[in-house]
Structures are given as C-alpha cells and as structure tokens.
Amino acid sequence: MGTEPHSANRRPLKSRGTGWARAATNLLLRTRVTPDQVSTIGVLVSIGGAWALVAARDMPWLYLAGAVGIQLRLLCNMLDGLVAVEGGRKSAYGPLFNEMPDRIEDSLFLIACGYAAGLAWLGFTAALLAAVTAYVRALGGTLGFPQDFGGPMAKPHRIARQLKAAS
C-alpha cells in the first residue's frame, strides 16, 4: 500500500496510515470485495445503528450498540476509500458511492439522535443542514475550488457530537 497518495479532494485522516488500517485494507484486498460493496455495508451498519439509538429509549444498553454502529460506519467509510485508491479498485460509480452513502448514513444517525433525544425535528434539521453542507462542498469542488475539510463542524467534530448525543 505504501504512502497515501496526496489529493486535495481527500479528507486528511491520520488513521489511514496506521498499521491496523493497512492490515484491514490488505485483508479486504485479498478478497473480491469492491469499494462500492464496502460503502453499501456502511449503509446497512448505519441502519442498524440508527435503529439501536431510536430503540434505546426503552432498552438503554442499545445506546452502546448505536455508538458501535457509528464507529463501524466510519470504518467502512475509510476502508472504501483505501480499497478504491490504495488498492486500485476504483469503479465507474466510485464518485457516487463516495458521496451518497455518506449522506444517507449521516442522515440516519442524525435523525436517530433527534428521536433518541425526544427532539425528532432537531434530528431532521441537522440531517438537512449536513446534506446541504456536503452539497455546497461538492459543488465548490466541481467548480474547481479546493476542498476544505476543516472547521468546527468538520466530519470528526460531527461524529464526536453524534457519539456524545448517543450516550
């Protein structure tokens, strides 16, 4: 796998260069799994994690399952890119599978956190704002502007807030 290729359109993640990430990527590369399949698994994990957060009001131990779902979703999100870029398995649908599952996963978890908190409207509002933010970023990229993944509402910060809301 070597060093990570530099790309102005990829979110910088220190975790991509860790030994466990390389091992997980190499394990996937020994199979026939595609990056698009990894993205699809991330959506399925998110459905389960979101369900756990909503159901946790009656069974509090499910908050832990929801938090695990958030982490597994992030793992799938990282691994799909590693398999695609470092593993050389990009597909014709890769750009679509790089964005759409993320928007679905974000929405599932944000809406579920709203329901878990008893504020469904807030979850729906957060999901809408997250999707619009991602759209504006993607639109800027298509217009030739460099991608900026920083700021107080960058993905790592949003995920940390989701985890905090779930606990």
Per-residue model confidence (pLDDT) at position 12: 54
Per-residue model confidence (pLDDT) at position 74: 92
Of the candidates 110, 108, 90, the one whose C-alpha atom is nearest the C-alpha of residue 98 is 90
**Residue 43 to residue 57: CA distance in whole angstroms:** 22
Render the burial of 21-43: b for 16+ CB within 10 Å, e for the rest: beebbeebbeeebbbbbbbebbb
**Within a domain: 142:** yes
Per-residue model confidence (pLDDT) at position 145: 85
Mean pLDDT in consecutive groups of 10 residues from the start of the chain, 167 residues: 45 65 88 93 98 95 96 92 86 84 95 96 97 88 79 62 62
Contact (Cβ atoms closer than 8 angstroms) between residue 83 and residue 28: yes
Name the 3-class secondary structure at 111. helix
**Within a domain: 35:** yes
Q: How many domains does the chain have?
A: 1
Of the candidates 45, 80, 40, the one whose C-alpha atom is nearest the C-alpha of residue 66 is 45
Range of the domain at 141: 18-166
Tell me the per-residue pLDDT of 56-75, one tens digit each, with 9 for 90 and over: 989 999 999 999 999 999 99
Per-residue CA distances from 15 to 108, 126, 144, 151 (Å): 24, 26, 27, 19
Per-residue model confidence (pLDDT) at position 153: 60
**Within a domain: 146:** yes
| Terminal C-alpha separation, the chain | 36
**Within a domain: 10:** no
CATH of the domain at 43: 1.20.120.1760
pTM of the model: 0.78
Per-residue model confidence (pLDDT) at position 31: 93
Per-residue model confidence (pLDDT) at position 159: 60
